[in-house]
Structure 1
Amino acid sequence: MKIADILSQIDLNTVALPEFQRGYVWNRDQVRGLMRSLYHRYPVGSLLTWKTRGDTTATRGGAASTLGAISLLLDGQQRMTSLYGVMRGKPPRFFDGNVKAFTGLYFNLDTEEFEFYAPQKMQNNPLWLNVTELFTDASKLGSLGRVLFGGMPDKADNYFERIMRLKNIGDIDVHIEEIVGEDKTVETVVDIFNKVNSGGTKLSSGDLALAKVCAEWPQAREEMQQALREWSAIGFHFKLDWLMRVINAVVTGEAYYAALSHVTPAQFQQGLADAKKAINRLLNLVNSSLGLDSDQVLGSRYSFPVMARYIHQRGKDFNSHTERQKLLYWYIHTFLWGRYAGSTESVLARDLNLISDSEGALDRLIADLRRNRGDLKVRPEDFEGSTRGARFYPMLYMLSRVEHARDWESGVELRNALLGSLSKLQVHHVFPQAQLKRAGIDRQLINAIANFTFLTQETNLLISDDLPEQYLPTFAAKHPGAIESHWIPMTPELWSVDQYRAFLAKRRELLAGAANTFLNSLIGGTLSTATEEPQDTLPAVSTALGDEESKVLEEVNAWVMAQGLPEGVLRHELVDAEGELLATLDVAWLNGLQEGLSQPVALLLAEPDLTLAAANQAGYLYFTDAAQFRSYVERDVLAGNQAAEA
């Protein structure tokens, strides 16, 4: 079938994308490579479609065939989506990805190269032709002819032949293999898809579960994405697979997706509504009771399916203030000890089984944690981790919020010091990094958790690179008790660089003591917190930590996605077979920047040598500088000439 006819079939909704397909993942260079191959009439491969009735299978974007039959793209969606985007100037109805990957493609009439728009190079240069305009603007060909024959008649014939060669891409025939037959179920076709797509990423059990749901409730994906957007807007960035797990736990009480096969569309729809309410209540609870107000400090996301199931079973209200605090106690320990860092599904299944009978459920969860750990006591060495990715980093932030740590300059409690552009909380190095580097201190020790605390941006700027022996006495005199509220050793001899290691050891002792006191008050039901029930509406917008490292990571991730590449995973935990933490990667692409085509990649900022070694051992190509990482992406990923499907 000719490419132009395939695009017309997409317009008519007789060619569409099944819900179980992943979204659009190609980048600009892959789009460029495809157009170059078609321009030179190189083979670009065949398509694989599944021909079925339009009323029996859900399609991405809710498309429904007006002719009673529909061909679902199983192999070729990246190519056809790219061609539709370039030749129509807009994404197809089933699009789910980054439109910048195919927006602004230009063709050079002289060199016959395809490049994306660069103003300095292309503006007011008639040799650079907007490819999309050639296909979408009927008057473009005539205006081009006048420019060429009027301004450069000696080359006009060659240029015009190249324009027509480009415009006639729509007449190229593409072979289509079809799967037909009433006996072909979603499961059968997904199995075929995985075999055909052996070079790419396989569909997971979650993808198949979502396909089954969407086959009967086509709006499911968009409804779930809307919920994710709402949480993202307040500072909590969750994934679709995570929400599926919460819904599954709420509706079925099971961890494995197979349980959803017997759930009706109405039950799933109600389950989504119930899961949203439960998640909102939990976010409000951990915010108001623990001070965990953004996903930068939200640990153990996979504790949420268990907690959501528990509060869903209990109905609107907890039975008591003590019960609520027990749940929080269990939750904190799940992120301190990496409860779900290993085999997530099997551990979830175990914990969901422990709460199948709500009577005594929390006691059973806590007892199981104790059996695994031996005890749940926090020790000074637990705070020996370094960087913001360490598991005890959220604990430090939480203690600062719930124990009423005060800002050193203003004297105001940190949880109340959030108004004004300079009042966002920032990570503060008690001993400045620059001073420690000059003293030859090891990088891992410089970024030790025990060297971190949280202050407003205004105070952080005021301190600058002063040593604690210079600034701590001033703040101690100005606001008595403010320094101590951060568990800073009040022995002045420990405030000098030559006593840095002794300072860290003493502060770890103080932090461990504060952590145990707080946790014991939770499990004992003696903690004084607000008694009102957490709401099941969205919590307030996150105050968000304003630290420089997080800003760099978010900017790099946004830049990567703007190139049409996949989003990285922030604070990814590398664990061994037993779930023990080996390292935390600042931002990682677990399947590479081009899935199936490149190795895992990570950006690691100011990380210790042990983290770098763990990343290397796990097969990651890693970078320790954001500029170096961007250069790698531009040089080795975007500048490649990959035209094969991802």
Structure 2
Amino acid sequence: MSKLSTILDQIDSGTMLLPEFQRGYVWNRDQVRGLMRSLYLGYPVGALLVWETETNPGSVRGTGEVGNGVKLMLLDGQQRITSLYGVARGKPPAFFEGDQTAFTNLRFNVEEETFEFFAPAKMKGDPTWIDVTALFVGGLEAQIHKLSGHPETAPKIVSYMTRLNRLRTILDRQFHQEKITGADKGVDVVVDIFNRVNSGGTKLSKGDLALAKICAEAPDVRSRMRKHLSAWSSAGFQFNLDWLLRNVNAVATGRAQFESLDGVDSAAFAKALTLSKNYVSGFLDVISGRLGLDHDRVLMGRYAFPVVSRFLHLNGGSFTDAAERDRMLYWYVHAALWGRFAGSTETVLSQDYETLARGGIDGLIASLTRWRGGNLTIDGQDFEGFGRGSRFYPLLYLLTRAQGARDFGSGLELKAEMLGNLTSLQVHHIFPKALLYKHDYKRPEVNAVANFCFLTQQTNLAIGKRQPDDYFAETQQKHPGALESQWIPTDPALWRLDRYRDFLAARRELLAAAANGLLTSLRDGTKPAAEPLQRVEVREDDADDVRNVQIKALVGELTAAGCAEPALDSEIADPATGRVLAVAEAFWPDGLQPGLGRPVVLELDLNSDLPRMEELGYEVFTSVDALLGYVARRNEEAAGLADGEEPADGLEAGESSIAVMPESPTAVEQAGTGAASGADFDQAMRGIYEAARTEAGHNASLFLGMLAEHGGITTAKKLLASAVVSDGFVALWERGRLDLTVEALVTRAEFARLFTAEEMETARERLRQFDYPA
């Protein structure tokens, strides 16, 4: 047993450390609040698992010097001890990696005996809210002195002093420690034990284990790897340690299994790391300069890189000639397009390493062709994907950059050296989004890859929301050939809105033909030599798309609540076949908090194989409201809140911001412009539901449940309090009926007295953002 204060002192003195194989801090504020509440109430909070060892300085995390002697390596309890250290010391421990706002500015209410994080509007000027860190750092006396100086708290100073003393004695809380000792307990044994006892938490991958063993011999390996990742990040490409380790393994051993690194000594690993870094950087230059794939959004086939690294290593570090380089590009693009590495990465890499050793690049191409049933030809239907997460979106960008696509406004090729100060590109919807939504096209059709092209930012703004049958004719007249360079069907009949689906079909065929021609020229060595393409900045402007605004706000809300950053517009593929199961709006591959829970998918378009994703272990949400409600309930449980207490943030699962107009057009208007009562607002809310259902074809049944439980005013206030517009708001925007939202109803003059000025302004701002007069 050890007192908490002793444990914190051990961290300060460097005798309790965090092994390098541990991942970073992932707790959120509600978890910290729940831990403090449990400790204050005397509830059990679990034992600690430590490894007692004569540690090598390279096997621990942190930048400080580690002295000789026996050390305690914290294996199970990192999140708890890090949180308590942060609250008690007011700073993170030396081994910290994560977001320290999760444990800073915690307050304790001496009257209600509750914990909350600092909220100025609620706590400023209220002496009953005590800074917990100040209590631990500055002592009890200073807090008692402050309370005694306020007339409202002075009469209860004795009971307050008892409560604060009880809180401070958390430092005397005894933590049971299980210790792993013995000379036979090496890193691999300890990691295995860690995984067994931590099966419900952050389980280590095979890559983590391999790195742990390497770091025990080579202290600077992880920092060197992170330096390389940072350099690529600065160049616009995001990779992780596990991915880089696969490249190193390919170079060092020619094997895909991380266990193969067991036989690689630190010197050999360091050399392979340097070579891998050079191979990856060189190939990034090739695909950027030759194909125009110059930023992370369009980087295809990440797990083809280890195969390329292996080839370059066997080939003396470079391609023999341009023809060999282009054949590798041919294989790389096709491997990415058909999901070659969507399945068991190690199995596929092993197969490709063996093929490479026997038959080189031509062997890889032949093997991929057989895997695809003898066909590497792109068909027009392959371009039927939608969104920037589609695997054919990067191919569209590749064609644009490598085949000399021209800007509609200037007529110039979309190359940095030709555009000068117009180098920023934007994705342009050929048929405007708002127009398509107005005519009842669904989101997948609106955001079809075949409805995308790339234009300069200036041209995109100039075209605005004009229809193709308007601006295409102008482009043809001013810049002959520009439309053809972007694979636009030249039949004017296809430029009309009523022929939109025919337009998509025709353009898909043109794109497929262009793609096949380019790839064939790479395979056959007939693509002309050219100066390397210079990088062009691509800016994503989604401010006019409420769904994208909603997802952006959702990510902000969830990361503030302690969740990890998701991958946006992420393709989810079947590991058995490489078939696309979904293009998720957001994807958390390691769970909402890294290593905790199942992978989480937010997929809103329902053009997906939900049963297969659930079979594969994904936790799938088809509603933003449902995901927010889930996170709110999960955090509520983590904080140990009493049953029936309202979540601090977010919506309940399935809540919808669809407002509901009255059964008849005059039902809301009956109050005229005079003040209306809560009952009037209830009636108006229920009426909006009927209009949304009958006039806009949107059935908000879950909204009715919320309305029945909370009433009209509380329902509206909950929706307005969320930072994220609801699914119902989005659905009505897509139908061109923002007049049927709660936000529109709240802004009516007769309901003004029912809401605060801030709530009214929130409603108006949401409506104004999407061109609805408010």
Structures share fold, TM-score greater than 0.5: yes
Q: Which runs of 5+ in 2 are unaligned?
A: 642-774
Closer/same/farther in 2, CA of residues 223 and 562 from structure 1, 3 Å limit = farther
Tell me which amino acid in the other structure corresponds to 2:473: P
CA distance in 2, matches of 1:436, 1:52: 66
Q: What is residue 696 of structure 2 aligned with on the other side?
A: none
Kept in 2, the 8 Å contact 1:98–1:561? The answer is no
Please, which moves more after superposition, 573-582 or 470-479? 573-582
CA distance in 2, matches of 1:502, 1:114: 60
Q: What is residue 105 of structure 2 aligned with on the other side?
A: 104
Please, which moves more after superposition, 422-431 or 541-550? 541-550
1:204-603 equivalent positions in 2, closer than 5 A: 204-356=205-357, 361-373=360-372, 374-416=374-416, 424-530=424-530, 543-548=537-542, 556-557=554-555, 560-570=558-568, 571-594=570-593, 600-603=599-602
Kept in 2, the 8 Å contact 1:426–1:454? The answer is yes
Alignment of 1:84 with 2:85, yes or no, is yes
SS in 1 for 2:308: helix
Q: What is residue 169 of structure 1 aligned with on the other side?
A: 170
Kept in 2, the 8 Å contact 1:55–1:68? The answer is no
Q: Deviations over 1:265-305 (max 9, x none)?
A: 12222222222221111111111111111111111100011
Closer/same/farther in 2, CA of residues 269 and 49 from structure 1, 3 Å limit = same
CA distance in 2, matches of 1:614, 1:428: 33
Tell me which amino acid in the other structure corresponds to 2:409: E
Closer/same/farther in 2, CA of residues 238 and 632 from structure 1, 3 Å limit = farther
SS in 2 for 1:94: coil
Q: What is residue 116 of structure 2 aligned with on the other side?
A: 115
CA distance in 2, matches of 1:400, 1:57: 48
User: Once the 2 structures are TM-superposed, how far is the Cα of residue 453 of structure 1 from its aligned partner?
Assistant: 1.2
Closer/same/farther in 2, CA of residues 598 and 197 from structure 1, 3 Å limit = closer
Please, which moves more after superposition, 328-337 or 121-130? 121-130
Please, which moves more after superposition, 439-448 or 505-514? 439-448
Q: Deviations over 1:420-439 (max 9, x none)?
A: 5x753222221122222222
SS in 2 for 1:60: coil
CA distance in 1, matches of 2:227, 2:158: 52
Closer/same/farther in 2, CA of residues 195 and 173 from structure 1, 3 Å limit = same
Kept in 2, the 8 Å contact 1:31–1:643? The answer is no
Kept in 2, the 8 Å contact 1:293–1:544? The answer is no
CA distance in 2, matches of 1:484, 1:531: 23
Tell me which amino acid in the other structure corresponds to 1:546: E
SS in 1 for 2:24: coil
Closer/same/farther in 2, CA of residues 385 and 101 from structure 1, 3 Å limit = same
User: Once the 2 structures are TM-superposed, how far is the Cα of residue 104 of structure 1 from its aligned partner?
Assistant: 1.8
SS in 2 for 1:609: coil
Q: Deviations over 1:498-547 (max 9, x none)?
A: 11121111111111110111011111112123478x9xxxxx87724424
Tell me which amino acid in the other structure corresponds to 2:365: I
CA distance in 2, matches of 1:223, 1:64: 18
CA distance in 2, matches of 1:119, 1:77: 30
RMSD (Å), alpha carbons: 2.6
Tell me which amino acid in the other structure corresponds to 1:389: G
User: Once the 2 structures are TM-superposed, how far is the Cα of residue 456 of structure 1 from its aligned partner?
Assistant: 2.2
CA distance in 1, matches of 2:177, 2:435: 65
Closer/same/farther in 2, CA of residues 280 and 576 from structure 1, 3 Å limit = closer
Tell me which amino acid in the other structure corresponds to 1:172: R
CA distance in 2, matches of 1:418, 1:72: 57
Please, which moves more after superposition, 153-162 or 25-34? 153-162
CA distance in 1, matches of 2:234, 2:535: 7
Under a length normalisation based on structure 1, what TM-score does the superposition of the two structures give? 0.91
Tell me which amino acid in the other structure corresponds to 1:639: E
User: Once the 2 structures are TM-superposed, how far is the Cα of residue 639 of structure 1 from its aligned partner?
Assistant: 3.4
Tell me which amino acid in the other structure corresponds to 1:145: I
SS in 2 for 1:120: helix
CA distance in 2, matches of 1:608, 1:293: 31
Closer/same/farther in 2, CA of residues 305 and 393 from structure 1, 3 Å limit = same
CA distance in 2, matches of 1:611, 1:453: 28
Closer/same/farther in 2, CA of residues 232 and 541 from structure 1, 3 Å limit = farther
Please, which moves more after superposition, 24-33 or 453-462? 453-462
Tell me which amino acid in the other structure corresponds to 1:569: A
Please, which moves more after superposition, 77-86 or 197-206? 197-206
Tell me which amino acid in the other structure corresponds to 2:194: F
Q: What is residue 188 of structure 1 aligned with on the other side?
A: 189
CA distance in 1, matches of 2:535, 2:623: 31
User: Once the 2 structures are TM-superposed, how far is the Cα of residue 110 of structure 1 from its aligned partner?
Assistant: 1.7
CA distance in 2, matches of 1:412, 1:638: 53
Q: Deviations over 1:428-451 (max 9, x none)?
A: 221122222222234332222211
1:153-168 equivalent positions in 2, closer than 5 A: 153-168=154-169
CA distance in 2, matches of 1:327, 1:74: 44
Tell me which amino acid in the other structure corresponds to 1:148: L
Closer/same/farther in 2, CA of residues 253 and 190 from structure 1, 3 Å limit = same
User: Once the 2 structures are TM-superposed, how far is the Cα of residue 489 of structure 1 from its aligned partner?
Assistant: 0.1
Please, which moves more after superposition, 16-25 or 596-605? 596-605
Tell me which amino acid in the other structure corresponds to 2:636: A
Under a length normalisation based on structure 2, what TM-score does the superposition of the two structures give? 0.77
Q: What is residue 147 of structure 2 aligned with on the other side?
A: 148
Closer/same/farther in 2, CA of residues 133 and 273 from structure 1, 3 Å limit = farther
CA distance in 1, matches of 2:108, 2:100: 19
Q: What is residue 636 of structure 1 aligned with on the other side?
A: 633
CA distance in 2, matches of 1:275, 1:562: 36
Q: Deviations over 1:324-379 (max 9, x none)?
A: 1111111111111111011111111111122236xx51111111111111121111
CA distance in 2, matches of 1:597, 1:273: 33
SS in 1 for 2:52: strand
CA distance in 1, matches of 2:269, 2:557: 36
Please, which moves more after superposition, 541-550 or 398-407? 541-550
Closer/same/farther in 2, CA of residues 578 and 587 from structure 1, 3 Å limit = same
Please, which moves more after superposition, 167-176 or 49-58? 49-58
Tell me which amino acid in the other structure corresponds to 2:561: Q
SS in 2 for 1:61: coil
Alignment: residue pair count: 631
SS in 1 for 2:298: coil
Kept in 2, the 8 Å contact 1:573–1:585? The answer is yes
Kept in 2, the 8 Å contact 1:49–1:73? The answer is yes
User: Once the 2 structures are TM-superposed, how far is the Cα of residue 42 of structure 1 from its aligned partner?
Assistant: 1.2
Closer/same/farther in 2, CA of residues 259 and 630 from structure 1, 3 Å limit = same
Closer/same/farther in 2, CA of residues 371 and 597 from structure 1, 3 Å limit = closer
Tell me which amino acid in the other structure corresponds to 1:469: D
Kept in 2, the 8 Å contact 1:436–1:446? The answer is yes
Q: Which runs of 5+ in 1 are unaligned?
A: 535-539
Closer/same/farther in 2, CA of residues 618 and 428 from structure 1, 3 Å limit = farther
CA distance in 1, matches of 2:299, 2:541: 16
User: Once the 2 structures are TM-superposed, how far is the Cα of residue 314 of structure 1 from its aligned partner?
Assistant: 2.7
SS in 2 for 1:356: helix
The higher radius of gyration belongs to: 2
Q: What is residue 537 of structure 1 aligned with on the other side?
A: none
